[in-house]
Copies of this chain bind each other. A is one copy, B any other.
């Protein structure tokens, strides 16, 4: 059996093989809520539904390179924190053909997020029911609050993205990828609260973050507030 499979590895017509794509969860915060950039499908199947940007993996292209290419070409974003999320390969997930997709998570600061609508992308708020730790199926909402029907298994992929972020939030630097270079402790706390979906204790959060030693105070302060301005911090590099 192994010999046949070996040959099938050389000859693409010996056995039919699944097609391989990457799909990107372009994740960020929109008005303090989890959000992702979605693309409206203008073809069958799932015409009119909303989908993650994606593309086929080239025969001479790394998976990470394919994800970077999709980020650049379909979302016009030159650079972002990118990490592989999970690979989805259920039989019926695409009605056209057998397509296995490697989902990637891209983390965008709110600024990059704001420029997106010109490309036909919509910044959809992602509602994650708390659903007892596991996180249920998500719903996507347009900026006006309408529910956006999702294509394929993309609701499942979005749910996985939020769960992954929750898990990595407090031992990794993912939160900082969602913030500008300079940020206040309040902004950092807002990011944590948005992803966890639960309020946090302010003094405890401050203590934890400062004791961690990842933050450098800049001595500068935010401007334009009508109240006491908060100090701006920067992520210490390299970590």
Contact = CB atoms under 8 A, between A and B. Distances in A.
* Number of identical protomers: 2
A55 B13 CA distance: 17
Contacts of A9: 19, 56, 94, 96-97, 99
Interface stretch (A84-92, A121-129, A222-230): A84-92
Nearest to A73: B1
Nearest to A16: B59
Q: How large is the interface on A (under 10, 10 to 19, 20 to 34, 35 or more residues)?
A: 35 or more
Contacts of A55: 5
Contacts of A15: 56, 58-59
A59 B18 contact: yes
A118 interface: no
Contact of A17 (B5, B6, B12, B90): B12
A153 to B, nearest CB: 12
A177 interface: no
